[in-house]
Amino acid sequence: MRPGHACVLAFSFVRLEGHDHLYSVLDKRLFSREFIAGEYSIADIASYPWIVPYQKQGMNLDDFPNVKRWFEGIQTRPAVQRAYEIAKRVNVAPLVTEESRSILFGQDRKI
């Protein structure tokens, strides 16, 4: 596995590992670099949306200073700002219905 892929891969397991662990992994990864893979890359583009709802996840970015620095840097990029403005107009309906929520997030229930 190439450098940078571990962090991106880790984010695909949010439901399995928990947010604290993933934020810690990302914070350590960003300790000595500006971006996840060193230079701005698809790793940053793919990981950023996982951090956007940090408040809904019960996370405090002040606990993860490297993630906070990275997040604020990505957030100010013009292309990211344009994309999220477009998303406000395109994503107006809820993506998850109550039925799909029970299917997606109720998998740990006993049958």
| pTM greater than 0.75 (yes/no) | no
Q: Which domains does the chain have, with CATH numbers?
A: 5-105 (1.20.1050.10)
CB 61 within 8 A of CB 68: yes
pLDDT of 32-58, one tens digit each? Answer: 999 999 999 999 999 999 999 999 888
For the segment 14-26, what is each residue's pLDDT rounded down to a tens digit?
Answer: 444 577 889 999 9
Q: Do residues 53 and 87 make contact, with C-beta atoms less than 8 angstroms apart?
A: no
